[in-house]
A and B are shown apart, each in its own frame.
Chain A
């Protein structure tokens, strides 16, 4: 593999479980926090409406739970990140400290947004996800290692295989997930398409 400093090959750390399916980006980051010209500070607003009661007290949401503090890996459910295309959602999760997400499946736009900011998404079946949720809930100290090259997650003495979108995996391993540099290279070909398209406007 290339020596590109942006290459992402492994993610290590403790995990935070977030059971539940179809968690949409409005829930991940409510629209009112999009009223900003930067992504800074979004880490503290992640899941805001689910983490606080009407009176301002904290709920028992995992993102409030001290035992998961410092976790680097989010274990989600099915169709995570559906709904609005806001990149603010993965930005908020990343700024909270999450470096990778394991789930049963991810919504497409959300997945694209994660790749373009360097967050690997790993998928596995429902039973395995449920098992991981239980494991982390009972022992939040378990250390996980995600190996993108081998497509595995290891913890304790176990190794399970995971799936990744092939294009996303290739880009993360090669360090080309920040697509702009890659896209800027094909200047002549871009100009050629620009010229060949019928311009009727």
Chain B
């Protein structure tokens, strides 16, 4: 039996066994942002510890920064200003690479890692953020950690961790028109459940996955965590290597060829062993949209919402809670539900290909008059590229606000928030109660093209009628 990528990476990075089930794992790349790091730096100071390998740490600011007037300091929000000052000071005191507000490379941590070439195949990556799974798109083993672990990685470049099981998720068939990477991962979560991945890393495989661009693979891996899987990855292939060639921090010249040979050797062997295999044929899929309060409460846009009496016992309570919060009627249609806000952005769908796909829908059309629509690039580089292609004009002419890079309305830590009971069509990754800024706010997750269609229609719409 051959080995899968997960176990190859694990074995290469294993430092020691700590107990029967726990290993000390070396973290090749540590990504740091302003929200989950200040207490970790403080802990280092208190113990007089240094950063073990500063060259393996990359930091930026994304969660709290406003997406309007981002450079006007101090921020009106004192607490945000304090956090920003903390990371500026910490990265300076500890000598870390920092893509702050004065850098052209600032942006959401999971977007700038890949676009600068830090994220590479066959390495371990950790970050104090659950969507670190994004980086798995490159064939890295990447997972989110808490602040105590951020401290551990800063001080030792290692973590105490249990080896995960690996489930191979084989996507077969052909991807229909109007079905984007986001639809694929929402469908997987709806099928396997939000707890289905507990204890697992997901290996996304099969012809449908390997036909995806790197940006699309990032969208899929980004939401592995929403299916309960701590990490998700795709084996590196030529598309991966082509993406990495020429990035600012990827290997150059002869070193690149050497790197590619190593990266290829890290991919799962053809006869690799898995703890579980799941196969899904995507040929007859329709665009997906969540209707409830977990990412697994999702249906095809042309389907109706569940009837509680027909559900498994285990799903009844959360479904009742979802209906109560969303105010939707059992068995009703999701298509046609009037929305108040449209949000395109986040580490799930804030990359250039996402804005291209949404612009294709928006072009020559107008956002419905009752809808507030935000297009928020995930990084400054994405913003620049979009502007070079004239996408910003397409969005603003249609009535979208074109913003500066940051997490924005994905979570309520900056000025971009829902108000009251607003219903938002969002390209982000979480529809939890309160996630987008008000306890009563409601979120429908969907692909950026579907968000664009909803913005134009003023209600949930089937993007296939717009492209």
Binding site for B on A (CB under 8 A): 20-22, 24, 26-27, 30-32, 34-39, 49-50, 54, 78-79, 82-88, 90, 105, 107-109, 112-113, 116-117, 165-167, 170-171, 178-180, 182-184, 186, 189-190, 193-194, 196-198, 200-201
B26 near A87 with CB under 8 A, answer no
Residues of A contacting B54 in the complex (Cβ-Cβ under 8 angstroms): none
* B424 CB within 8 Å of chain A: no
Residues of B contacting A21 in the complex (Cβ-Cβ under 8 angstroms): 317-318
Q: List 11 A-B contacts (CB under 8 A).
A: A22-B294, A87-B147, A108-B230, A167-B21, A179-B148, A183-B155, A183-B156, A186-B24, A190-B15, A200-B256, A201-B55
Binding site for A on B (CB under 8 A): 12-16, 18-22, 24, 26, 28, 35-36, 38-39, 42-43, 47, 52-53, 55, 63-64, 77, 79-80, 82-83, 86, 117-118, 120, 123, 128-130, 144-149, 151-152, 155-160, 162, 194-195, 198-199, 225, 228, 230, 249-251, 255-256, 258-259, 262, 294, 317-318, 321, 411-413, 430, 432-435, 437, 439-440
A180 near B151 with CB under 8 A, answer yes
CB distance from A187 to the nearest CB of B (A): 8
- B15, B129, B258: the one within 8 Å of A85 (CB): B129
Given contacts A182-B18, A190-B156, 14 further A-B contacts (CB under 8 A): A32-B413, A35-B83, A38-B39, A54-B440, A83-B432, A85-B130, A87-B39, A109-B144, A180-B151, A183-B24, A190-B157, A193-B15, A200-B250, A201-B117
Task: A107 to B227: give the CA distance in the assembly, Å.
Answer: 11
A170 near B19 with CB under 8 A, answer yes
Name the residue of chain A whose CB is nearest to the CB of B117.
A201
CB distance from A18 to the nearest CB of B (A): 13
B128 near A85 with CB under 8 A, answer yes
Number of A-B residue pairs with CB-CB distance less than 8 Å in the complex they form: 201
CB distance from B450 to the nearest CB of A (A): 22
Task: A175 to B300: give the CA distance in the assembly, Å.
Answer: 49
B148 near A117 with CB under 8 A, answer yes
Task: A109 to B18: give the CA distance in the assembly, Å.
Answer: 19
CB distance from B83 to the nearest CB of A (A): 6
- B20, B120, B144, B259: the one within 8 Å of A166 (CB): B20
CB distance from A31 to the nearest CB of B (A): 5
- A22, A34, A86: the one within 8 Å of B194 (CB): A22
- A34, A36, A197: the one within 8 Å of B123 (CB): A197
B432 near A24 with CB under 8 A, answer yes
Task: A38 to B19: give the CA distance in the assembly, Å.
Answer: 31
Name the residue of chain A whose CB is nearest to the CB of B229.
A108
A116 near B148 with CB under 8 A, answer yes
CB distance from A47 to the nearest CB of B (A): 11
B152 near A179 with CB under 8 A, answer yes
A49 near B155 with CB under 8 A, answer no
Task: A108 to B195: give the CA distance in the assembly, Å.
Answer: 10
Task: A87 to B40: give the CA distance in the assembly, Å.
Answer: 11
CB distance from A25 to the nearest CB of B (A): 9
Task: A85 to B226: give the CA distance in the assembly, Å.
Answer: 11
B430 near A180 with CB under 8 A, answer no
Residues of B contacting A85 in the complex (Cβ-Cβ under 8 angstroms): 36, 128-130, 144-146
| Given A35-B80, A85-B128, A108-B198; A197-B22 close (CB under 8 Å) | no
A197 near B146 with CB under 8 A, answer no
A22 near B130 with CB under 8 A, answer no
B39 near A37 with CB under 8 A, answer yes
- A34, A167, A200: the one within 8 Å of B35 (CB): A34
Residues of A contacting B28 in the complex (Cβ-Cβ under 8 angstroms): 197
Residues of A contacting B14 in the complex (Cβ-Cβ under 8 angstroms): 193
A197 near B12 with CB under 8 A, answer yes
| Given A167-B19, A190-B158, A194-B157; A87-B146 close (CB under 8 Å) | yes
Task: A109 to B149: give the CA distance in the assembly, Å.
Answer: 11
- B19, B36, B63, B255: the one within 8 Å of A171 (CB): B19
